[in-house]
Chain A
Amino acid sequence: MSIALTMLFNGLTYGVLLFVMAVGLSVTMGMMNFANLAHVSLAMLGGYLAITAMDHLGVSFLLSLPLAFLGTMAFSWVLERLVLRHFYGTDDLTQVLLTIGLLFMSVSTVAYIWGPSFKPITMPASLSGQVQVMGLSLERYRLFLLAVGIALALALVFGLERTRFGAMVRACVDNRRAASGCGLNIQRIFALTFAIGGGLAGLGGALAANLLTIDPNFPLRYLIYMLIVVSVGGMGSVAGTLLASVVIGIGDVVGKYYVPQAGGIMIYLVTVVIMLVRPQGLMGRAA
């Protein structure tokens, strides 16, 4: 029983990590119908920013997280204003090609700046090792991840439901034309949403640096997971992304434990089944 609970916990924290990385993509895809595959490059950027801050500026890990968030947010803002916004309204494939091109460029650029090898990250002692919680032996870092993830999820939900900006975001996701008709500045709202989403991806990347590993090929390895989480959850829905991430995270870890012969296919099986049964995603709007 304790093993099952531990596996559940591990899957949950993995899912939470995926959520932090992917939530920005879900909101921007739902709001502006813009498929930004380079989102996963933003996660990588956040990871590198955090590691660089720790290695070269002597910053502590905890402080590197907000730095990664802000740095990636700034970069996302610039990227959107300079490049991406010229492609709103074009068809899906154009956007896919454009952002894949940007993804490739990011892989090489990062290899050029930071070198082609993996980047190690050292955790402070307070976040290493294991701790006994209710009879279970749980990793401290995962507990930290869970705490951060829950805090972020709550903050996002609160932000969307209770703030004025959040209401504007929701309006744009639901019906862009009507929102614009009500006098909302769509361009500005989207730019800000994109920046925040990108910043969250960067934060996710910084958190992922310890659990997964950061190297220039990170986007190539994790693009599929981002796409899966966003489409299974339903585009535009924060709750949907959280649900999908948790389902996929738990499914992956628990699946690999109880049915190791199945290998890594659990994640694809879940995707295919859910997409066939509910093509708009778990919490997406029906077309």
Chain B
Amino acid sequence: MPVGTSWGRYPPVAAQAVVPLRWRDAQLPTLESYMLAYGNGRSYGDSCTNAGGTLLHTRGLDRFIAFDPSTGVLRCEAGVLFSEIIDLIVPKGWFLPVTPGTKFITVGGAIANDVHGKNHHRAGTFGEYVRRFELLRSDGARIECSPDENAPLFRATVGGLGLTGVITWAEFALQPISNPWMAIENRRFGDLREFLQLSAESERDFAYTVAWVDCAAPATALGRGVFMRANHTPADTCSGPAAPRRRLTMPFTPPLSLINTASLRAFNALYFHRRRPQNEIGHYDSYFYPLDAIGDWNRIYGPRGFLQYQCLVPMADAQNSMAALLDEIRRSGSGSFLAVLKVFGDRRAAGILSFARAGATLALDFPNHGQTTLDLLERLDDVVCAAGGAVYPAKDARLKRARFERYFPNWTAMLPHLDPRFSSGWWRRVMEQ
């Protein structure tokens, strides 16, 4: 993808300048327009775009600074990719403390979106492992932030969507592993009640839990899916599958989305009924990053792009709210192959605008069919809002101010920390500026 686009390629972005950053000791350029750090463009909506402004491309800040293999503390520049970190640390017996479903994100992006993964119920978000970072502000100030030092700015920057300045480097703690493999258990479930039950009983013994849900299932099978739970394999496991071979790449953008009601129903039914072992050993790469094996997979949705929707509803009424969401999606005939369900843990959020909180989360893609899609997402928002839930800004492309304020009731705590020269398409939209 060209620098400056978002992963969902929606909304389309008007012209924006791109300034590459290469040295962490350099000053920011003096600009008339608003600035925004842009890492590897894996945010789905417009939180990584800045129409009419300037993107500070951070991928040139890709140096490691220090790594202590005895403690697992890593310090690196903000443009280093998770994939580059993994290549370095796995052979030394370490793994990322938290990882989302793609390894092609930068450290700066991971902090700015306070990303979560399949181990949220136990480990929380990436921001909880950040020990320190340097924030470069438009006035030239360099501010080191940690949970103890400049703590309010730390909490505004973790999950702060790049609105407080540019992170130049960060230091964070890794988790030890014995080998690159995962012990995985797969369990089919027939409905949401079963999903919640499986989730509750797996939390204690499994570091990672996640479920695939059939979002195209008929009303009688609403909420069916496959629950997948896993742990890193113990030290006495001395063999397992190799890392997946060369990745494929979607070589072009088809003129129309290849995802439609028919292909969706067929795929999902096949996927649900596919025979899969109850227990298996997998390589971490295919376990955590199955979609990374297909380069530029976002092209499958055609030139109009897609909207990803990730929401969360509180546990108290999770079964009913989630059923209402799935029913709306089923009736729309839209949705994606990979709809994901997960129960988050109850932890103190690392950042003011952190998304992850106690509750059940659902994430899926919708091909962009214009107003029809926007109307559907609005109906989903009605359910989420009534339940007292939230929507994930990293994936959002259409939220309005009233809803944003409901989902992030503490958002005004951000105001004193915003850098006056920084902004994003997402921020101007939710602020209705």
The answer to whether A binds B is: no
